[in-house]
Amino acid sequence: MARVCQVTPATVAHWIDQGHLRGHRTPTGHRRVVAEDLIAFLEQHEMAVPEELRGPSGQDAIVVVEDDPNYRRALVRALEAAQLGARISAAPNGVDGLLEIGAVRPKVVVLDYGLPDLNALQVVERLLAPSRGFDAEVVVVTGGVGVEEQHGLQRIGVRQIIDKSAGMPAVVDAIAAALQRRRAVAA
Q: What is the pLDDT of residue 53?
A: 65
Tell me the per-residue pLDDT of 153-183, one tens digit each, with 9 for 90 and over. 888 878 889 999 999 999 999 999 999 888 7
Q: What is the pLDDT of residue 72?
A: 93
pTM: 0.67
Both 73 and 12 in one domain: the answer is no
Q: What is the pLDDT of residue 136?
A: 83
Q: What is the pLDDT of residue 98?
A: 83
Tell me the per-residue pLDDT of 64-122, one tens digit each, with 9 for 90 and over. 999 999 999 999 999 999 998 888 999 998 888 888 888 888 889 999 988 888 777 77
> Which of these, 123, 117, 116, 131, lies nearest to 98 by C-alpha position?
123
Bridge-based pairing of strands 108-112 and 24-25 is unpaired
Q: Which residues contact 160 (CB under 8 A, 6 or more apart)?
A: 137, 138, 139, 140, 174, 177, 178
Both 81 and 118 in one domain: the answer is yes
> Any idea which of 36-40, 89-93, 129-133 has the lowest mean pLDDT?
129-133
Check: CB of residue 91 under 8 Å from CB of residue 64. Answer: yes
Both 7 and 84 in one domain: the answer is no
Check: CB of residue 91 under 8 Å from CB of residue 65. Answer: yes
Q: What is the pLDDT of residue 171?
A: 92
C-alpha span between 159 and 52 (Å, rounded): 31
- Tell me the CATH number at 85: 3.40.50.2300
Both 101 and 10 in one domain: the answer is no
Both 45 and 97 in one domain: the answer is no
Q: What is the pLDDT of residue 54?
A: 60
**φ and ψ at 158, to 5 degrees?**
-80, 120
Integer CA distances (angstroms), 150 to 14, 61, 75, 113, in order: 45, 25, 22, 10
Both 31 and 123 in one domain: the answer is no
Region 43-61 average pLDDT: 69
Q: How many domains does the chain have?
A: 2
Q: What is the pLDDT of residue 56?
A: 46
* Per-residue pLDDT band at 59 (split at 50, 70, 90): low
Question: 166: which DSSP letter?
Answer: G
Check: CB of residue 105 under 8 Å from CB of residue 61. Answer: yes
Region 21-41 average pLDDT: 80
* DSSP-based helix, strand, coil % in the chain, nearest 5: 50, 15, 30
Question: 82: which DSSP letter?
Answer: T
Q: What is the pLDDT of residue 57?
A: 43
Tell me the residue range of the domain where 13 lies.
2-54
Q: What is the pLDDT of residue 51?
A: 62
Q: Which long-range contacts (C-beta less than 8 Å, at least 24 apart) are formed by 149-154?
A: 149/113, 149/121, 152/121, 153/120, 153/121, 153/124
Both 47 and 60 in one domain: the answer is no
Region 50-77 average pLDDT: 80
